[in-house]
Structure 1
Amino acid sequence: MKVRMNVTGMIAVYFVIAAVVSAAETRPNIVFFFCDDLGYADLSCYGHPYAKTPAIDQLASEGTRFEQHYVTGVTCNPSRTGLMSGLYPARFPKYCADFGLSGRTAITDLLKKRGYKTGHFGKWHMGPDSMAENGTYGLDVVETIGKSKDKSAGRDDDVTTAAIDFIKANTGSQPFYVNIWGHSTHFPVTVPPELAAEFMEIKVKRSDFAPTMQHKFDECIQIGGDLDDSMRQYLGDVYSIDRNMDRLLKTIDELGIRDNTIVVFSSDHGPAPVILGKKGHREFSNNMLGYAGQLRGGKHEELEGGTRVPFIIRWPGHVPAGRVDSQNVTSFIDWMPTLASIAGINELPEQIDGEDISDIWFGQSRERENPLYWKTSSNGSAPVMREGNWKLHQNRKKEGGVQLYDLSKDPSESNNVADQHPDVVKDLKAKLDAWTAELPKSYEKIPDDKKKKNKSH
């Protein structure tokens, strides 16, 4: 038995080394399909009891599906800031939705220099509208497309079509990188009859969902919603995402570029709430039934439901097919260094927070080199970190100050074990304090009444 285990380990290591060597020699195309507010468990392959996502499920069966992947922020701009720059959003002294990346290098800048044709389609939210033009962040093409003209196909049909046109036009002698950043399932969710009709048989059985979902059902009813109809609306929006993924995958196959194209599917953070704090509810709020499974929290919260998202990657011959990675802890803070490694880019910005996890993508398992951190840029906001299986929330005023969770036993963050593990709290708090001490002491943001509304946000 011992010999067999050693041989198995050697084979795994050989596979990873071969994948790394091959990647360095091949500059693969990169297609990044990024959803807006899609919950961790909003897909069939991630456990939703009613969702219809056959194309995304197929992508997962042909690649690797990660179960512990994290975003860098719990609202739209910080999430995009972290993945594009490789820096935690809290490091920026100016709100990037208002000012952009303040001269920092983006992954697309690096890929452009490496010979990639680069394109961005859909939601922007990486600076003011005036920045969304050719040349920004090394992007050759930027089209901040809003809702589709043909409403029957869902709101991101035009975004996907434009991205497909870009892929067709740039398949050839040079590799390409493309962002496809849709608007589904951001508020408001209101789908055409053609999409809702796919789920007419749905009758919500509340026991089919985790306890963490029950308050959203209660709020839906509280503001006058009908659970069955609201669920059909939300699932219709998710289904439209899957239809677009189906078109995209078929295009890649038709062009004969499947084997040399990395396809990544994910979401920018957790699902939006039904009732948003003091703002109360708005029309269609009852349809915001995004699901994070057993994870507590969602958008605007650093709880697992807000920070952990679906993450699927396919690259035939490099990323293991049909694999479910439940062990490795990965993050979009690693997006820049990982893609740089795969594309053969040797020079990275002097300051970077992420790490190269290409070995993990290729099937290896290991501990992270550094903890993960979250904090909004607002002065006085509470920081959060994860190291190993421990998740520490500092100064959560509503729930009694410091909270410590063992995510290997309590992914819903329901049992605060800070009192039982004072040494762990002390160690993690010291690291969290050291990290926050590195952050800017002031923070600049343009007041809402002094800036133009950015429709692409």
Structure 2
Amino acid sequence: MKKMQKIFFLTFLFWALFLSKILSANVQPNIIIFLVDDMGAMDTSVPFIADKEGRPKKYPLNEMYHTPAMEKLSAGGCRFLNAYAMSVCSPSRVSIMTGQNSARHGVTNWINPHRNNGGKFGPADWNWEGIKKGTDTIPSLLRANGYRTIHVGKAHFGPLGSYAENPINIGVDVNVGGCAWGQPGSYYGEKNFVGDRGQNPVRGQNPVPNLERYFGKDIFLTDALTLEAKREIKKCADEKKPFFLYMSHYAVHSPFQPDKRFIGRYGKYKSSTSKDWPAFASMIESMDKSLSDILEYLDLLGIAEDTLVIFLGDNGSDARILPVSEVEGPNTSKVANAAPLRGMKASKYEGGMRIPLIVSWAKPDKLNKNQQAFPVLPGSFVNSMAVVYDLLPTIMSITGTSYDKSISDGESLCDAIAGSSNSDRLSKRKFLMHYPHEHRCRYFTVLRDGDWKLIRNYEDGSYELYNLKSDISESRNLASDHPQKLNELKSEMDEILKSQKAKMPNL
């Protein structure tokens, strides 16, 4: 009898272990996109620029910022040293959601919520209305695959009255804070996140929605959004429901208002920077605290091992080391705010479009089934180009979600983050950034192919050619020195613009 009981117990134990392995293997991974507004590649203590040997190199700006959570995430994951976005926010955000280059989806400028801001010579038929009904997006695709989809923070996918004004329409189940405008009136709960109407009517009339519970309280907007994200994560964990969280901070977009928890660290720089930079740096640290809080909460809930985090910025830096008037202009002649990169947000130079990008499991665990299926090499870095529209195919691959590959410009980054040699294909790709509008730089198209970068200026018909490997600061225009390379890249640029049916400026 005892022998039979032992056999029964061992048989039960075997099947219990077997079933637990099957069930654990079938757990769908949670996905978090942690997006920071106006954060460029240099706005962190984590280096994102490679030296001549292709390894991350620290520059003086890295020493000025304090981002320990980013450092931890990078140590456990994969860092991209040549990551690109469009040079302003709405084009990048639509590219993230759709997996398409802005020249293809047509949102080539930031979206003014109140009026069409195509510019004096901008194409009249550019896509000011943003994401259209029927467009596949990351949240709509994941929701069809059983995910709860959550939007917290800035949206800026379409103007007031448009289909994409409310993120619910593009596939999210829960929206906290997302609307047509791209900046808060205020970062302070005491002011109900509303600015001074007399000082800025647009911000004053547009408070961040769905945050009424924090009105009148001593809380910074970044922290309030983090609490809301944790609230939604908890619901999913309780229901054992896989989730996609688009954690999209309004920070570090203007207005530059200090987070009093962190501003003290940056007072020593007041005499050597513009008046805005210490506040900007405190907002960066506040964002980093948000990242830390979310990672710790995932661990507390026991779901960190099954949660993939993708951290990135949406365009180049808007840091104000020097006043913008001293750094920017039609030719963006100085290197300062994103040094060693030239230019800043809305620029045709690298400082306008280079971003931080980290991919990591929230808690690395080699024994976890999801991490075995989609490994991320801890502490690794990739020199091949990555672009914001790569997120859609990457996430679809990791979650086993089908999508129409024919309308995506992105590449899956799964091989690269795993350290696979198959990622070599990324080294052969090209990146095009088309901006037929007015901002700090005006009416231009950029093409990067390998070490070479071409800029076409539509107003005067001129071209700029740089070799980024030898001249990361874009200080030497080689257009007249390399006519063959110039003509080769001009032809490539024209072909890509034509294939994506890009809207051209009227010049």
The one of 54, 63, 88 equivalent to 1:49 is 63
Distance 2:44 2:34 in 1: 14
Aligned counterparts of 1:383 and 1:330: Cα–Cα separation in 2: 18
CA distance in 2, matches of 1:269, 1:290: 17
Whether contact under 8 Å (1:132, 1:142) holds in the other structure is no
Matches within 5 A, 1:129-140: 129=160, 131-133=164-166, 135-140=168-173
Do the aligned partners of 1:106 and 1:137 also contact (CA within 8 Å) in 2?
A: yes
TM-score by length of 1: 0.77
Residue 443 of structure 2 is matched in structure 1 by: 381
Q: Secondary structure at the match of 1:189?
A: coil
Flag the structure with larger Rg: 2
Gaps of 5+ in 2: 1-23, 48-57, 112-127, 179-183, 191-216, 330-334, 365-370
Report the AA paired with residue 415 of structure 1. Answer: R
Task: For 1:156 and 1:261, locate their aligned partners in 2 and report how far apart those are by CA, in whole Å.
Answer: 21
Once the two structures are TM-superposed, the CA of residue 121 in structure 1 deviates from its matched residue by 0.6
Structure 2 CA distance for partners of 1:441 and 1:138, relative to 1, 3 Å = closer
**2:151–2:167 contact (8 Å) kept in structure 1:** no
Q: What whole-Å deviation, never above 9, does each CA across 1:147-186 have from its counterpart, x for those lacking one?
A: 4526765331111111111111112533111111112111
Whole-Å Cα distance in 1 between the matches of residues 241 and 336 of structure 2? Answer: 39
- Conserved in 1, the CA contact under 8 Å of 2:436 and 2:445? no
Aligned positions of 1:53-452 closer than 5 A: 53-71=67-85, 73-93=86-106, 97=111, 98-103=128-133, 104-129=135-160, 131-133=164-166, 135-144=168-177, 146=184, 147=187, 149=189, 153-171=219-237, 172-200=239-267, 202-203=268-269, 217=273, 220=274, 225=275, 230-272=276-318, 274=320, 291-315=337-361, 316=364, 317=371, 318-325=375-382, 327-348=383-404, 350-364=406-420, 365-368=423-426, 370-378=429-437, 381-395=443-457, 401-440=462-501
Tell me whether 190-199 or 307-316 shows the greater mean CA deviation: 190-199
Residues 35-70 of structure 1, C-alpha deviations (whole Å, 9 max, x = no match):
111121111122411212111211111112221111
Summarize the Cα distance change of 1:107–1:429 in structure 2 as closer, same or farther, 3 Å threshold: same
Secondary structure, counterpart of 1:91 in structure 2: helix
Higher relative contact order (CA 8 A, sep 6+): 1
Shift of 1:422: 2.1
CA contact (8 A) 2:103 2:503 kept: no
Q: Give the Cα separation in 1 of the matches to 2:397 and 2:27.
A: 11
Q: 1:192 to 1:117 in 2, by over 3 A?
A: closer
Conserved? CA contact 1:75–1:299, under 8 Å: yes
AA in 1 matched with 2:221: R
Task: Tell me: CA distance 1:421–1:196, structure 2 relative to 1, closer, same or farther (3 Å).
Answer: same
Q: Is the 8 A contact 1:299 1:306 kept in 2?
A: yes
Contact 1:154 1:191 (C-alpha < 8 Å) held by counterparts:
no
Task: Pick which of 380-389 and 333-342 moved more.
Answer: 380-389
Tell me the TM-score normalised to structure 2 length: 0.70
Q: Secondary structure at the match of 1:271?
A: coil
Contact 2:385–2:429 (8 Å) recurs in 1: no
Task: Describe the SS at the equivalent of 1:156.
Answer: helix
Over 3 Å counting, the alpha-carbon distance change for 1:49 and 1:443 in structure 2 is same
Q: Is the 8 A contact 2:31 2:308 kept in 1?
A: yes
Secondary structure, aligned partner of 1:437: helix
* 8 A Cα contact 2:309 2:359, kept in partner: yes
Q: Give the distance between the partners of 2:64 and 2:224, measured in 1 at CA.
A: 26
Q: Percent identity?
A: 29
For residue 49 of structure 1, give the secondary structure of its aligned residue in structure 2: helix
Instruction: Kindly provide the CA deviation profile for residues 102-160 of structure 1, in whole angstroms up to 9, marking residues without a partner as x.
Output: 23211211111111110111111001355454742211111126545267653311111
Identify if the C-alpha distance between structure 1 residues 93 and 329 changes in structure 2 by more than 3 Å, giving closer, same or farther: closer
Aligned equivalents of 1:290 and 1:192: distance in 2?
A: 24
* Distance in structure 2 (CA, Å) of the matches to 1:140 and 1:191: 32
Give, in whole Å, the separation in 1 of the partners of 2:89 and 2:502.
23
CA deviation string 1:196-221 (max 9, x = no partner): 12334x24796xxxxxxxxxx5xx3x
Match of 1:451 in 2: none
Distance 2:103 2:411 in 1: 18
Contact 1:116 1:177 in 2 (8 A): yes
**1:257: how far off?**
1.3
The 3-state SS of whatever aligns with 1:340 is helix
Aligned residue pairs, count: 390
Whole-Å Cα distance in 2 between the matches of residues 129 and 144 of structure 1? Answer: 15
Looking at structure 2, the residues matched to 199 and 153 of structure 1 have their Cα atoms a distance apart, in angstroms, of 20
Secondary structure, aligned partner of 1:383: strand
- 369-378 vs 130-139, which deviates more? 130-139
Query: Distance between the aligned counterparts of 2:37 and 2:472, measured in 1?
Result: 23
User: Any unmatched runs of 5+ in structure 1?
Assistant: 1-22, 207-216, 282-288, 445-457
Distance 2:308 2:95 in 1: 20
